[in-house]
């Protein structure tokens, strides 16, 4: 990965926390810390993905989170919809990128296109 971490301004930190904590749990991602109104999610104690209030919410971002397998992509999609996300593309192969690109897309609380993607062939 070329980024160490990323931060995103949101309109409602509590709503975003509830959404992302639920949607990303199937990928092994959880809340790692909260500081000064910002929430940091990640794996193994490292907050890679931050969001919070403190500015104008970013608009129209696309955030793709890595999944370890296709089942995690499907579980992400189900969890994200249950957490209030809006369908923006169900789990499936996206051959336009490559033959094993398996992704699912939802729109999150601020309308961002949130994706889980696995680049591996079916188990």
Q: What is the pLDDT of residue 60?
A: 85
Q: What is the DSSP string of 41-70?
A: EEETTEEEEEEESSSPPP-S-EEEEE-SSH
pLDDT at 41: 97
112 within some domain: yes
**pLDDT band for position 1 (cuts 50, 70, 90):** low
- The confidence score (pLDDT) of residue 58 equals 80
pLDDT at residue 54 in the model? 80
Domain count, the chain: 1
Would you say the pTM of this structure is higher than 0.85? Answer: yes
Residue 106 lies in a domain: yes
Query: Which residue in 85, 96, 68, 45 sits closest to 77, CA to CA?
Result: 85
For residue 103, pLDDT beyond 70:
yes
The answer to whether residue 104 sits within a structural domain is yes
The answer on pLDDT for 119 being more than 90 is: yes
Q: Is residue 80 part of a domain?
A: yes
The pLDDT tens digits for 24-75 are 999 999 999 999 999 999 999 999 999 998 888 888 899 999 999 999 999 9
> Taking all residues of the chain, what is their mean pLDDT, rounded to a whole number?
95
Is 73 part of any domain?
A: yes
81 burial class (0-12, 13-18, 19+ CB within 10 angstroms)?
A: middle
Residue 64 lies in a domain: yes
For the chain, what percent of residues have pLDDT higher than 70? 98
With respect to residue 1, please indicate whether it lies within any of the assigned structural domains: no
Q: CATH number for the domain including 106?
A: 3.10.180.10
Supply the pLDDT for residue 122.
Answer: 85
pLDDT at 89 over 70: yes
Q: State which residues form the domain around 98.
A: 6-52+60-118
């Amino acid at each position: 990965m070329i980024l160490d971490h990323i931060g995103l301004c949101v309109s409602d930190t509590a709503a975003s926390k509830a959404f992302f904590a639920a949607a990303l749990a199937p990928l092994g991602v959880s809340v790692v810390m909260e500081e000064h109104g910002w929430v940091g999610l990640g794996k193994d104690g490292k907050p890679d993905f931050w969001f919070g209030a403190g500015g104008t919410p970013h608009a129209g971002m696309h955030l793709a989170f890595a999944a370890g397998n296709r089942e995690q992509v499907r579980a992400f999609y189900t969890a994200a919809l249950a957490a209030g996300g809006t369908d923006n593309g169900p789990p499936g192969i996206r051959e336009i990128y490559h033959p094993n690109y398996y992704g699912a897309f939802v729109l999150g609380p601020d309308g961002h296109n949130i994706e889980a993607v696995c680049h591996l062939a079916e188990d």
